[in-house]
Structure formats: C-alpha cells, structure tokens
Amino acid sequence: MPVNRERGAHDAARLRAGGAAAAVAVAVFVVKLAAFGFTGSAAIFSDAMESVVNVVAAGMLVLSLVVAARPADSDHPYGHGKIEYFSAGIEGAMIAVAAALIMLQAGHALLAGRTPQRLDLGLALLVLAGAANAALGYWLLRVGRQARSPALVADARHALADVWTSVGVLVVLALVRVTGWNVLDPLLAFGVAGLVLREGWRLVRDAIHGLMDAADDTLLDAITGSLERARQPDWIDVHGLRAWRSGANLHVDLHLVVPRYRDAQALHAIHDRVESTVLAPASGAGDAIVHFDPCAPRYCPGCSVSPCPVRAGSYAARAVLDRTRATRTDVEAERA
C-alpha cells in the first residue's frame, strides 16, 4: 500500500509539472513573439522559435505523462512508461527543425542588412521571459528527478537551454544597441541555431538509449550498492544483473546463488527481500525477477553461511558485490 501511494503521488506530481510546463511555455512564447514583433531582431526570432517547440513539446509532454500513468495491462505487461522516451525523442527532433528555421531567418536578415528596432522594449520582454523559463526549468528538473520522469527531465533541460539562449540574445542585442553593429544580430542567430541543434541531438540520443534499454552504469551501481548493504549470508553471489526503466518503473533481473538445500518457502522469502532491495533506487516502483542458482563447492571460500550441512571448504572472505561482479555473464561466473 505505501508503494502504491508513493507511485500515485509521483504520477500526480508529474502531471502537475506537465500542466505547469505547458502553461509557462505558452506565456513565454507570446512574450517572445511580441518582442520579435516590436524589434524585428533575427536573434529574438531564434529565441521565439525555440519557444514554439516548447509549446508543442509541452503538449506532448502532458499527453505522454497521462499515458505513462496508466497501469500495466494485458497488451502492455511492463506498463506504458516507454512513451516518455518517445516524447523526449520527438521533442529533440522538433528542436532540430527549429534550428533550421532559425538559420533561414538569420540568413535572410544578414542578406537584407536589417536593423533591429525598439531594442529597449525587446530586451525588457526577453528578461521577463528568461526569468520565467529559468524558474520553470529548475523546478521541472527537481520534480523530474524525484519522480524519475525522463520526459520531465528532457523538458527541464530544454527550458534551461532556452534560458542560456535568451541570455546570449540579451548580451548581443545590448552590444548592437551600444555599437550599432547590426551584423551581430543575425550572426548570433546562427550561433543560437547551433546550440539548439546540439541540445536536440542530446535529447534524441538519450531517448534512443532509453528505448533500446541501454545499460545505465549509475543505475546498476545504485542497485548493487543496495544489494551489498542489505546482503544476507545466504545471498552467496550475484551475476547476470540487468536493469532497465519504463518511465518511473524499474525492471530488474538477476541470478542469485543460494544454499542448494533451501526449500521453496525459504526461496520465496529471499525473492521478496531481494526484490524490495533492488527496487530501492526506484522507491519500490517496478518488479524484479530473481533466478536462483544452487551453490557448488567452489563457492565455499566466499560463503559465510553457518552452520552448513554441505560445506566442502573453509570460509575465507566474502567478495564485495559491485557492478562489475554483479553483471558477469553465466560463463564468466562459472570461470570465477
């Protein structure tokens, strides 16, 4: 029951954050669009284009969070959390499209030799929009990490990248206002396009890694650390550890060497304790599959079970369980 309550609280927090992200994205876009209308600045246009992506991405974010919160069913036995990676990946692709639009506008402004107008008002509006984005970005990052939401973290990173874009635009437009070097305006827009494109690539790359269940060394370190701290004498050795995320849920499987004379009831109790231990990094959200392997004489030097009716050698020392040891294959474990 406590796990279900915590899971429900995380779902509610993700949805609240997604709704806030959508509302702020719309407001920031309107402010930046007004700034571009007043000034005609290519740099401000580049900033506004990134905010267009924010608006559409925020809508997709809310949709993905609603779908991800659905419980597992017969068609999706591991839940619906993977949709958050789709959301993050599509957001990254949209950012790349925005970068192309920025480059087109910057090229037009450079060739036309356009002079930005009413920069005082434009700069004031950008400061307002940048402050709103900074507050949103840091809040989304905190909520996304606490609720283990890749979609929220992706949106937070995008919002914070937008802040740095706005800072760069502010600095260069201030220089344009002081020096009269209008060429700085489209040149900055090209630079912004490059930064936007880089951020889009990072989001797409991370989404692909999530969809492909790429190994997460940080996550595996957290799981093995939890196992080592809670380790019991009859948890003799671990290998074949694998872990992947589906949204906020964590799925783990591993091979656990146990005394070969343990009965089914004892193994069931061990499974429950191991499951709660490996899911600790996800606050219990998810599931674990524990494959039990019977001990053999070669494990005796590292086994502290006492008394043991089948011991074939003296206990020496138990090997520390870390990521390298826990992720060994069956063949590597046999050779150890």
Per-residue pLDDT tens for 211-267? Answer: 666 678 888 999 999 999 999 999 999 999 999 877 667 889 999 999 999 999 999
Gap between the Cα atoms of 298 and 302, Å rounded: 9
Choose the weakest-confidence range: 31-45, 73-87, 208-222, 252-266: 73-87
Same domain? For 22 and 171 the reply is yes
User: Do 100 and 194 sit in the same domain of this protein?
Assistant: yes
- Inform me whether the pLDDT recorded for 2 exceeds 60: no
The Cα-based distances of 330 to 19, 162, 181 in angstroms read 47, 47, 67
| pLDDT, average across residues 151-170 | 76
- Which of the four pLDDT bands, split at 50, 70 and 90, describes residue 59? confident
**Domain co-membership, 223 together with 177:** no
Cβ proximity of 247 and 79 under 8 Å:
yes
Closest CA to 139 of 283, 12, 20: 20
185 and 226 share a domain? no
Percent of the chain beyond pLDDT 90? 27
Q: Return the minimum-mean-pLDDT range out of 176-180, 242-246, 260-264, 321-325.
A: 176-180
Q: Kindly state whether residues 125 and 246 are assigned to the same domain.
A: no
- For 193, the token pair is 């396009």
CA distance 284 to 275: 8
Residue 234 carries which side chain, given as an amino acid letter? D
Task: Tell whether the model's pLDDT for residue 152 goes beyond 70.
Answer: yes
> Which uninterrupted H or E stretch holds 292?
strand 286-294
How much is the mean pLDDT over the chain?
80
Q: 157 and 279: one domain? A: no
- Same domain for 197 and 281, yes or no, is no
Listed residues 192, 211, 230: the one ending a domain: 211
Q: Provide the number of structural domains found in the chain.
A: 2
Task: Tell me what the mean pLDDT of segment 180-192 comes to.
Answer: 75
Same domain, 45 and 176: yes
Are 298 and 169 within one domain?
A: no
Q: Could you say which of 211, 242, 262 is where a domain stops? A: 211
**226 and 192 share a domain?**
no
Count CB neighbours of 49 within 10 A.
28
Pick the last residue of a domain from 211, 237, 256.
211
- Preceding amide of 307 cis, omega within 30: yes
**Three-point CA angle 122, 111, 31, nearest 5°:** 20
Q: Are residues 165 and 226 in the same domain?
A: no
Which of 24-33, 111-120, 190-199, 294-303 has maximum average pLDDT? 294-303
Indicate which CATH number applies to the domain containing 256.
Answer: 3.30.70.1350
For residue 253, give the DSSP letter: E
Task: Report the CATH number at residue 100.
Answer: 1.20.1510.10
Q: How confident is the model at residue 1 (pLDDT cuts 50, 70, 90)?
A: very low
In single-letter form, the type of residue at position 9 comes to A
44 and 188 assigned to the same domain: yes
Domain that holds residue 234: 217-335
